[in-house]
Structure 1
Amino acid sequence: MQAFKIIILLSSVFVFGSSQVYAAVAESDIQRLGNDLTPVGAEKLGNGEDIPAWRGGLKPDPLLQPGAFHPDPFKDDQPRFRITASNIDQHEKRLSEGQKQLLKTFPDLFFDVYPSRRSASYPDYVYDAVKANAASAELLKYGSGVTGATMSSPFPIPKNGLEVLWNHTLRFRGHSFSFVDYTTSVIKNGSRSDQLRDHQYFFAYSSPGISPETLDNKIFFLKRKTLAPANLSGRITLVHETLDQVRSPRKSWLYQPGERRLRRAPDLAYDSPDESTNSVRTIDQVDMFNGAPDFYNWQLIGKQELYIPYNAYKLHQGELTNDDILLEKHINSSLLRYEPHRVWVIEATLRLGFEHKYAKRRYYIDEDSWSIVLAEEYGENGELLQFTEAHTINFYDIQLVYPTLEVTYDLEDGGYFAEGLDNERGSTLNFSESYTKRDFSTSAVRREARR
């Protein structure tokens, strides 16, 4: 078994000082999609040992109601083995540096490794869009955005680290959805700070009938309202997420009930502290990474076989409480599921003359979904400061892969932040919403705030 495969490409290191724009993929490579490659560009075959071939992933369940928690399709699986601090050496080739550090930091933490289930699947029209993207998508100058693509990941056969990153940023996440969840900051002594928030998303980039010409440089629109605690209740954040954030930075507004005004929030980018996380995370750590990539040089390291969080249906159940999931120092290991999968590995190093809290960042991207599943953030002296895991599932009511829980561990100061705790709410992400751009205008938010 080849545990780590280095992909050697002339373009594997992309430096923003270059103005090169990469051409579309050759027709012969595009024809590989759906043949030896899956429709999104993953290797269809397994590794001959513990990673199986992809056979289409999970099929949709027409009986599942919108917003209902998804029954675990793999509930009868049993762990193959358990990784702990005491046996890291036996498994280190399939663990990231962040995973190793996490196990060493918390000796009571463990990873139960289950059979690999390549459950990722998407609707056929998404596969069609990915194939069309492969023929026309190009990075904009300096890699600041993408042109010639809609609906889903633009580069199913990537040639450099930036193309892999944009595959995550633009991956298919449905058309509209809403959900209410708790976010929790757990500080070193185990005390918690909770917020309850209502989210509404409209993905302009994946709207049916959208074309690259009519996209208007928008990825999505977000409205987020804080419901609790009482001192923050009524606070509304509005975001218009742009595709090329160097040329046209994201637009964001904040409504504070005490001020009764909707104000522009100009610093909602890069390493500005994310106040909703008790400043554990920076703004560009939301969704593992978001926003403009121009502060960093991006390198494609290659592909690696890792044990990653996957098919996290045990975490995704309505009978669980926050107390079941959140322990004093980390989330509950007994609710976690890890599987062997292939991931793309990319690394970002801070460009000369730019300042950011993190000097180096490494991301591990699931080949079957283009979702970042592990993220490592390093300081200027090479020390690992933070480690984030995205515990994903296939929301197979409509077929897409998305985290049911994200957890960021602060390895420097202790404590952690968890996002996506909807278990106590009685419902999860509801993809049956039919929002439009008008629902995310400043006037719409002002009207809602007055009610």
Structure 2
Amino acid sequence: MRNQLLTGFMAVLMGLSGAAQAKVSAEEAERLGNELTPVGAVKSGNASGVIPAWSGGLSEPPANWRPGEIEVDPYPQDEPLFVISKANLHLYRDRLTDGHIRMLEQYSPEFVMPVYQTRRSAAFPDHVYDKYKENAVSAELLSNGNGVRDTIMTSPFPIPRTGLEVIWNHILRYRGEEIAFRSASATPQTNGAYNEVVNNYDYFIAYSRQGANLAEIDNKIFYLKTDTVAPSSLAGTITLVHETLDQVRSPRLAWRYDAGSRRLRRSPNLAYETDLPNSSSLRAVDQKDMYNGAPNQYEWELKGRREIYVPYNAYQLHDGDVRPDDIIRPQHINQELARYELHRVWVVEATRRVGISHIYDRRVFYVDEDSWQVLATEEYDENGELWRVSEAHNINFYSEPVFWTTMEMTYDLKAERYYIDGLDNGYPAYDFNPGFRGDQFSASAARRDARR
């Protein structure tokens, strides 16, 4: 890490062993909603005024948006303040991730970073803000670090002391109670040619439902069912996932129905470094949603906070009139549609534990202080070389105030190809109230759905 780290909390533990981490005192928790925002970010702006004070985020939708519609850009008047390229990289190096520096150098002159006015748009429902303060005084890591206790609904540690607590804040951040949407993924060739894989996604997030408690949710974070609708060779494929809270004690449960064999089978290896399905081996399973699963393969270190340029308010990429052909380019996306802003992020470094096998020896995570969403990552190989760079382009949704990814991509610097997910352009808006029931996500229910 370079020495531009801002003053922040340093890690008091780097490993996963030892006693459970202490919750904060009631006095410390009172900082939430005062000098800290309800989610634990610094409420004030930065010294230069480029980062403004948080004033509630985008809690109300724009006047020209109607329920059921795709989110419109709340900042249509914004123009880039400047554009970072390889030619002027030296002016901005201190506020860039190592991954973005490498992208600017390797893919010049096409890869550039348009920088816009900073908008602290992240907003959540009031009942979620209330839970942050409750979690702050009750939540603890389990002794092995692979789970949490006495927490519910959203991130457990709004005043974190360790890198592991920050990662759990990302894993358990609030994304709504249930969501249904359709989107596509692709793995473009070096010449930009691509084929889409289109899926329907149904989420039932047990951990985040109002009134839920840890005993009732039976160690589950969420249930996810995906149904592939294109291409025809994959149509009818169903994947069912039960995401568990402590995946070492109770591993993730996954099933896959293949239309060709007409059988629903368990998928015991859908975790860690396993290739993400339909990613052409450009992304691991634990990179979905930027990071997921049990954190037991790494030592986690909290490096502090930095002010850096990160993807944010990606309403142009999410636009209903934009199509994948407008986004996908050889080697990287169309950067004219990307938006970067200066934000404060927590920096967490993960180092592979001795004796553990994983394709990534070291990983660096840049986590938004306003939402606990991982915004960018770097993945290093066993020789210490930067191998892959990942981005999450996010928006604040309107029908449910939720700050979440609209598009993710992992850039493979060796293959000079990338995996892109979240091509939801041209499809209906996300439905945050589809009316799901938990029993719709059982293996028997998936089997019945497959036979229809």
Deviates more, 1:2-11 or 1:362-371: 2-11
CA shift in 2, pair 1:53/1:274, >3 Å:
same
> 1:10: Cα distance to partner?
5.7
Match among 163, 169, 172 for residue 171 of structure 2 = 169
In 2, Cα distance between the equivalents of 1:299 and 1:10? 6
Residue equivalent to 2:322? 320
> 1:8: Cα distance to partner?
5.2
Contact 2:11 2:163 in 1 (8 A): no
Residue equivalent to 1:79? 80
Equivalences for residues 258-273 of structure 1 within 5 A: 258-273=260-275
In 1, Cα distance between the equivalents of 2:416 and 2:11? 40
* Counterpart amino acid of residue 59 in structure 1: S
In 1, Cα distance between the equivalents of 2:396 and 2:121? 7
Q: Is the aligned partner of 1:395 residue 2:394? A: no
Residue equivalent to 2:32? 33
Q: Is the aligned partner of 1:43 residue 2:42? A: yes
Percent of pairs with identical residues: 48
* Counterpart amino acid of residue 217 in structure 1: N
In 2, Cα distance between the equivalents of 1:234 and 1:331? 29
- Secondary structure in structure 2 of the residue aligned to 1:186: coil
Q: Is the aligned partner of 1:351 residue 2:353? A: yes
- Secondary structure in structure 2 of the residue aligned to 1:98: helix
> 1:428: Cα distance to partner?
2.9
Equivalences for residues 352-391 of structure 1 within 5 A: 352-391=354-393
CA shift in 2, pair 1:34/1:47, >3 Å:
same
Residue equivalent to 2:61? 61
Contact 1:67 1:431 in 2 (8 A): no
* Counterpart amino acid of residue 439 in structure 1: Q
Q: TM-score of the superposition, structure 2-length normalised?
A: 0.97
4+ aligned runs moved over 4 Å, structure 1: 62-67
Residue equivalent to 1:22? 21
> 1:14: Cα distance to partner?
2.1
Contact 2:62 2:74 in 1 (8 A): no
Contact 1:305 1:341 in 2 (8 A): yes
- Secondary structure in structure 2 of the residue aligned to 1:21: coil
CA shift in 2, pair 1:6/1:353, >3 Å:
farther
Residue deviations 1:275-295, cap 9 Å, x none? 221221011010001000000
> What is the CA RMSD across the aligned residues, in angstroms?
1.4
Structure 2, unaligned runs of 5 or more: none
- Secondary structure in structure 1 of the residue aligned to 2:317: coil
* Counterpart amino acid of residue 57 in structure 2: G
Residue equivalent to 1:284? 286
Residue equivalent to 1:88? 89
Contact 2:312 2:393 in 1 (8 A): yes
Structure 1, unaligned runs of 5 or more: none
Residue equivalent to 1:449? 450
Residue equivalent to 1:155? 157
* Counterpart amino acid of residue 104 in structure 1: E
- Secondary structure in structure 2 of the residue aligned to 1:268: coil
Q: Is the aligned partner of 1:232 residue 2:234? A: yes
Contact 1:238 1:252 in 2 (8 A): yes
In 1, Cα distance between the equivalents of 2:164 and 2:62? 37
- Secondary structure in structure 1 of the residue aligned to 2:214: coil
In 2, Cα distance between the equivalents of 1:267 and 1:276? 15
In 1, Cα distance between the equivalents of 2:431 and 2:437? 15
> 1:433: Cα distance to partner?
1.2
Residue deviations 1:28-71, cap 9 Å, x none? 11000000000000000001320000000012339855552111
* Counterpart amino acid of residue 26 in structure 1: S
> 1:357: Cα distance to partner?
0.2
CA shift in 2, pair 1:62/1:393, >3 Å:
closer
